[in-house]
Amino acid sequence: MTDANEDQPFPVTGRCHCGAVSLSAEINPARVFVCHCADCQVLTGSAFRVVAPVVPGSLQVQGNIKGYARTADSGAVRWQFFCPECGTPLYAGAQGGVGMATVRVGVLAERDQLRPTAQLWRRSAQPWVGSLGDVPACERQELLG
Ligand SMILES: [Zn+2]
Ligand SMILES: [Zn+2]
C-alpha cells in the first residue's frame, strides 16, 4: 500500500460507525492535519484529531446528520456535524453548507493511505504524544491481562 502523497484531488469515502450516514468528497493529500487543540480533544474524547479540508463543493452526504454550533474565541461560528444515531463526528463546516468543510479522517475508508502533513495547536498537545512509540504496546489488547 502506498500513501497518497501527490498534490492533486484524492477521492475519499466514509461512513459513521452505525452506517446511517455515509459521505464522499475529494481532498488534497498534502493537506492532512493533526489538530491538538482543546476543542478537538474534547469533541473526539481523545488526544488529538486528524482532519482534511475537502475540495470546495466536493462533499456529498447521504443520511440525516445533526450539527452543533461552536463559537470560537474569535467569534467565528463553526458547525460540528455528526451522526445523531451513533455520535460519530463526520465533518465541520458552515451551517447548511458543505463548501468549506473539513472532514474527520477517522471515518474515511482511505485513512490508512493518508499521512498527516502538519500538526496544528501543538502548544496544547498532550505531553506524551511525541513519545507514543516508547509506550508498551501489543497487537490487540493482551496487555490488559
Ligand atoms: Zn451513525
Ligand atoms: Zn482542533
Q: Indicate whether 2 pLDDT > 60.
A: no
Provide mean pLDDT across the span 106-120.
97
Kind plus residue range of the DSSP H or E element containing 102 = strand 102-104
- Paired strand residues for 104: 51
Q: Is the dihedral angle over the CA atoms 4, 7, 13, 18 positive or is it negative? A: positive
User: Using CA atoms, how far apart are residues 118 and 75, in angstroms rounded to an integer?
Assistant: 25
Kindly list the protein residues that place their beta carbon closer than 5 angstroms to ligand 2, a single-atom ion. 35, 37, 40
For residue 63, give the ligand nearest its CA: 1
Give domain limits for the chain. 15-123
Judge whether 29 and 5 are in contact, CB under 8 Å: yes
Distance 74 CA to ligand 2 centre (A): 14
Which residue has better confidence, 74 or 122?
122
Give the model's confidence band at 5: pLDDT under 50 very low, under 70 low, under 90 confident, else very high: low
**21 alpha-carbon distance from chain centroid:** 15
pLDDT in tens, 34-93: 999 999 999 999 999 999 999 998 999 999 999 999 887 778 888 999 999 999 999 999
pLDDT in tens, 86-110: 999 999 998 765 568 999 999 999 9
DSSP secondary structure code for residue 42 in this structure: H
Residues 6 or more apart whose Cβ sits within 8 Å of residue 2: 113
Which residue has better confidence, 145 or 117?
117
Cell of 137: 504496546
Residues 6 or more apart whose Cβ sits within 8 Å of residue 53: 27, 28, 31, 100, 101, 102, 103
What's the CATH code, domain 15-123? 2.170.150.70
Provide mean pLDDT across the span 17-21.
98
For residue 88, give the ligand nearest its CA: 1
Q: Picking from 8-17, 68-77, 125-134, which range would have the lowest pLDDT averaged per residue?
A: 68-77
**Nearest alpha-carbon partner for 108 in 14, 32, 30, 20:** 14
Distance 37 CA to ligand 1 centre (A): 25
Cell of 29: 493529500
For residue 81, give the ligand nearest its CA: 1
Q: Indicate whether 6 pLDDT > 70.
A: no
Distance 6 CA to ligand 2 centre (A): 25
